[in-house]
Amino acid sequence: GQQLNQSPQSMFIQEGEDVSMNCTSSSIFNTWLWYKQEPGEGPVLLIALYKAGELTSNGRLTAQFGITRKDSFLNISASIPSDVGIYFCAGLNYGGSQGNLIFGKGTKLSVKP
């Protein structure tokens, strides 16, 4: 089946550093979503992208929908300890029903105070 390649798998950074993670796909998507999941909880939607080239911010988070429609990145600026968690990208194919998302395997972020 379809796969999303999400990288890096894990990051261990110092508080205050910027973070960048990305997802690539072998097929074209018409929606990219970024979620954060903390232990024992469900994912929380951070940013949704619907148009190629779209750049959207949510506080210290910025995400972009790649112009090829096959990739997306998420940046976190000036990281803080509460940014710790697993970040997932998810994409929706053209013609796919809403909710039938393909998820990456996640980027585990650790922040050292």
Partner 1 sequence: GAGVSQSPSNKVTEKGKDVELRCDPISGHTALYWYRQSLGQGLEFLIYFQGNSAPDKSGLPSDRFSAERTGGSVSTLTIQRTQQEDSAVYLCASSPGGDPKYFGAGTRLSVL
Q: Which of 7, 13, 30, 48 binds partner 1 (CB under 8 A)?
A: 48
Among 5, 18, 45, 68, indicate the residue that binds partner 1 (CB under 8 A): 45
Tally of residues, the chain: 113
Interface with partner 1, residue 26, by CB under 8 A: no
Q: Considering beta carbons, is residue 48 or 77 the nearer one to partner 1?
A: 48
What does the alpha-carbon distance between residue 49 and residue 22 come to, in Å, rounded to a whole number? 14
Phi, psi for 83 (deg, rounded to 5): -75, -10
The token pair at 44 is 């929380």
Give 64: exposed, middle or buried? Use CB within 10 Å, 0-12, 13-18, 19+.
buried
**Of the listed pieces 14-22, 59-67, 70-78, 91-99, which binds partner 1 according to CB under 8 A?**
91-99
Q: How far is the CB of 66 from partner 1 (least distance, A)?
A: 18
Neighbouring CB atoms inside 10 A of 104's CB total 24
Which residues form the interface with partner 1 (CB under 8 A)?
A: 4, 6, 31, 33, 40-45, 48, 88, 90, 92, 97-106
